Amino acid sequence: MALSNGKLQGKVALVTGGSRGIGAAIAQRFAREGAAVAITYTTSADDARQVVAAIRDSGGRALAIHADSGDTHAMQQAVRTTAGEFGNLDILVNNAAMFRTGLIDEFPLDDLERMLAVNVKGPFVAIKEALRFMRKGGRIINIGSVSSEYMPIPGVSVYAATKGAMTSMTRALARDLGTSGITINNVQPGRIDTAMNPADGPIADRVRGSIALGHYGEPEDIANMAAWLASPEAAFVTGTSIKVDGGTSA
């Protein structure tokens, strides 16, 4: 249910890759806090419709936008559509990502280019376009990964590199955006139970052993952190990366 006195009442948010997993959890949490929420999706149209329907059925406002995060024009248009539909844009969550594994001597260069487009260029384009609409007090939240700093298995070098770029970009952009009163932060999930990395997947037992708490997290764990960063309580937090990893990197 959308809260009439929620921490995000009257705010407008865009969550990329919001049709399932972490993105869907963030979109629904924001809506419960009173925000109008737009989500982007690439292939999961049915999932996107379900997220929007759930928010609307609970009294919230929501919109699903088909947009490939690796397509510059599509990302620009998604931002414009969100602002046009809801009147402005206060919060941008760069959540959409691509994950491919492979040792460096086998990794296809086409996959490298695609991952850079989705995981690095896409967020940069979205941020650049969002600044046309954001006012003082705006929030940009990047969803990175603890993999940028800690990786217990081989074959994830490209994904780690793209998430490392997200970490560095967040830190540097805090300087660019600070004088405008806009904050930018990077949430670094650890092992979260999603379709990308299921808790019952083929490497789950091996991965679980690296988590201090001994179990995978839930998408809601990341949504809780994103909601805090989007709230007035985090007004003086910017340029930082916050791990939500159950002690994976401890």
Q: What is the DSSP letter of 146?
A: G
CA-CA distance, 128 to 132, in Å (whole number)? 8
216 catalytic? Reply is: no
CA-CA distance, 89 to 122, in Å (whole number)? 17
* DSSP strand pairing (91-94 vs 12-15): parallel
CA-CA distance, 248 to 180, in Å (whole number)? 35
Q: What are the φ and ψ backbone dihedral angles of 94, each rounded to 5 degrees?
A: -90, 95
Using CA atoms of 121, 122, 127, 133 in order, give the dihedral in degrees to the nearest 10: 140
| Catalytic (active-site) positions | 159
